[in-house]
Amino acid sequence: KRHLISAGDLTKDDALLILDTAEELASVSERSIKKLPTLRGRTVVNLFFEDSTRTRISFEAAAKRLSADVINFSAKGSSVSKGESLKDTALTLEAMGADAVVIRHGASGAPHRLANWVHGSVVNAGDGTHEHPTQALLDAFSMRRRLGALEGRKITIVGDVLHSRVARSNVLLLGTLGADVTLVAPPTLLPVSVGTWPCEVSYDLDAVLPKSDVVMMLRVQKERMNAAYFPSEREYSRRYGLDRDRFAKMPDDAIVMHPGPMNRGMEIAAEVADSARSTIVEQVANGVTIRMAVLYLLLGGETT
Ligand code: CP
C-alpha cells in the first residue's frame, strides 16, 4: 500500500507485518543502535493543522532514526493564516520534494483528499473525529507486548467515543486482529452509527470491568463538545471515570491505557494513570517504534 489513511484499510496480514516490523525495530533499538540508514535521502513532511505533542514529536523522532530529512510544518505561523488552501499548501510542500506527508487536520477526510493531490505517501496522524490509525497500531503493539496475541482478548474502550478518532481506529484494527471490543460511554457521547461498528456497546462500566483484559480510557474532548449534551464533570467522573475503586474491579493482570493527553482526575485518577499496570508512558515510547515501522514499510521496505 502507498498510504495509511484508515485502520480499516489494513488486512490482518498488513497489521501483523507492521507490528512484527516494529518488534524487529524495537530489538535493534534495545541493542543501542539509535539510527538506521534506511531512509537516507528521503524527505518526510509533518503537516500539522491541529495541536499535537506525542504524534508530531514521535513522527519526527521516527523519521530521524531512519535517517530521513524531516520538514516540520505547523499551520500556526504559516500562510494558512493568510487563507492558503490545503491543496496549495500540499503542492508547495511537494515542490520541496516530500516523499511522505504526515498530516493532522481538524477536518475528517483531509488525508484522503491530500492523497489525490500529492505523489508521495500520505499518513493520517489524526483527522477530525474520524481516524488516527498509527495511534491504534501503537495501542495494539503495546497490548501485544504486555499480553501476547490479541485474538479473543477483551478490550474495553471508555468515554467520549463521539469525538474520538482513537476509538474508531482501535475498533477497526482490534476487530481485524481478532480481539473483542466493548465501548462504554454515556448515550450522548456515542455516534449514531455505532450500531454498525464491529463491537459491543454497554452503559455499565462496573459490569464490564471484571471481564476486561484491557481498559482504554478516552480523553473527554471539551474543545469539540459543541452540540453534544455533556453531564457535569463531577457526574461524568462518578459514572465513567476510572478511579481507585473501579480499578480494583479489574482482573489483577489487566492493563490500563490512555492515548493522552489526559484529564487527570476526570476520566482517570492520577494514581491509576501512574500505576505499574498503566501503559501510558510505554504507549508514547512504542509510538516512535510503530511510526518507524510505518515509514519504513511505506518508503523503504517491502510494500504492505
Ligand atoms: N495521542 C495523541 O494523538 O496525542 P497528541 O495529540 O499529543 O499527538
The tens digit of pLDDT for each residue in 250-287 reads 999 999 999 999 999 999 999 999 999 999 999 999 99
The DSSP output letter for 138 is H
What pLDDT is attached to residue 3? 97
Cα 53 to ligand 1 centroid, rounded to whole Å: 6
What pLDDT is attached to residue 227? 62
Within this chain, domains 7-132+284-300 and 133-279 share the same CATH topology = yes
Ligand 1 atom nearest residue 55's Cα: 8
In order along its 304 residues, the chain shows pLDDT tens digits of: 899 999 999 999 999 999 999 999 999 888 877 899 999 999 999 999 999 999 999 999 999 999 999 999 888 888 888 888 999 998 888 888 999 999 999 999 999 999 999 999 999 999 999 999 999 999 999 999 999 999 999 999 999 999 999 999 999 999 999 999 999 999 999 999 999 999 999 999 999 999 999 999 999 998 888 766 677 888 899 999 999 999 999 999 999 999 999 999 999 999 999 999 999 999 999 999 999 999 999 998 543 3
Q: Strands of 100-105's sheet, edge to edge?
A: 69-74, 43-48, 100-105, 121-127
What pLDDT is attached to residue 228? 65
What is the C-alpha to C-alpha distance for residues 261 and 57, in angstroms, rounded to an integer? 14
What pLDDT is attached to residue 88? 92
Q: How far is CA 10 from CA 117, 119, 264, 277, 286, in A?
A: 22, 21, 33, 29, 19
* Helix (H) / strand (E) containing 87: helix 86-95
What pLDDT is attached to residue 304? 37
Please give the CATH architecture assigned to the domain spanning 7-132+284-300: 3-Layer(aba) Sandwich (3.40)
Under a CB-based contact definition with an 8 Å cutoff, are residues 283 and 165 in contact? no
- Does domain 133-279 fall into CATH 3.40.50.1370? yes
Pocket test for ligand 1, best of 47, 49, 51, 55 (most atoms within 8 A of CB): 55
Ligand 1 atom nearest residue 50's Cα: 6
What is the C-alpha to C-alpha distance for residues 231 and 233, in angstroms, rounded to an integer? 6
* Owner of C-alpha cell 531512509: 39
If you take atom 6 of ligand 1, which residue's CA is the nearest one? 52
Under a CB-based contact definition with an 8 Å cutoff, are residues 132 and 157 in contact? no
Tell me if 55 is assigned to a ligand binding site: yes
Q: Is 161 exposed, middle or buried (0-12, 13-18, 19+ CB in 10 A)?
A: buried
Dihedral angle over CA of 200, 176, 291, 87, nearest 10: -80
Task: Indicate the pTM of the whole model.
Answer: 0.95
Cα 274 to ligand 1 centroid, rounded to whole Å: 18
Pocket test for ligand 1, best of 52, 74, 135, 257 (most atoms within 8 A of CB): 52
Domain ranges of the chain: 7-132+284-300, 133-279
Amino acid residing at 94: E
